């Protein structure tokens, strides 16, 4: 008889493998597009969250991404220099920079995330609402600290 702990570990390893292969499939096209622009996944994350929350401050973006100022500084500066993101002073407190995507940045973000949205839509259509809800809950629980 196989030890239950060994069997459970094997099942968990299969789950980890599926996560690895699914993640690879979700990022392969965006990674290739990012590479053509000399960008990386951190740039995609910045574009994604600024696109979802126009007017986000730099400090708010730091909180959303859970990174330090030092790790955000260079990629954000690069996206601004490439005219994908615009940083404007806040109207009431000029020390605060508000971030928005430029038209070019919005087009790039749509191309990067669009393939991912299509992939999720196709899978969720197959799973149905109940399966999608379970997936969302599993991802939420995995993201807990």
List the beta strands (DSSP E) in the chain. Answer: 56-57, 85-89, 97-101
The number of distinct structural domains making up the chain is: 1
Asked whether residue 96 is domain-assigned, the answer is yes
Asked whether residue 20 is domain-assigned, the answer is no
Q: Indicate which CATH number applies to the domain containing 101.
A: 1.10.10.10
pLDDT value at 65 more than 80: yes
Q: What is the pLDDT of residue 22?
A: 96
Asked whether residue 3 is domain-assigned, the answer is no
Question: Distance between CA atoms of 115 and 75, rounded to whole angstroms?
Answer: 22
111: CB partners within 8 A, 6+ apart? 33
Share of the chain above pLDDT 70, in %: 99
Asked whether residue 139 is domain-assigned, the answer is yes
Q: Which of 55, 65, 49 is nearest to 100 (CA)?
A: 55
Question: Distance between CA atoms of 138 and 84, rounded to whole angstroms?
Answer: 33
- pTM, 2 dp: 0.90
Q: What is the pLDDT of residue 2?
A: 57
Q: What is the pLDDT of residues 82-104, one digit of tens each?
A: 999 999 998 999 889 999 999 99
């Amino acid at each position: 008889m196989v030890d239950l702990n060994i069997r459970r570990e094997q099942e968990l390893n299969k789950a980890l493998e599926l996560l690895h292969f699914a993640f690879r499939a979700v990022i392969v096209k965006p990674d290739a597009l990012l590479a053509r622009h000399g960008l990386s996944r951190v740039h995609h994350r910045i574009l994604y969250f600024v696109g979802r929350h126009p007017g986000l401050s730099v400090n708010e973006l730091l909180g959303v991404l859970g990174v330090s100022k030092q790790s955000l500084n260079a990629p954000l500066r690069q996206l601004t220099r490439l005219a994908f993101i615009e940083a404007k002073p806040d109207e009431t407190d000029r020390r605060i920079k508000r971030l928005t995507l430029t038209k070019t940045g919005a087009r790039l973000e749509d191309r990067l995330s669009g393939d991912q949205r299509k992939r999720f839509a196709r899978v969720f259509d197959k799973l149905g609402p109940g399966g999608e809800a379970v997936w969302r809950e599993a991802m939420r629980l995995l993201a807990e600290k």
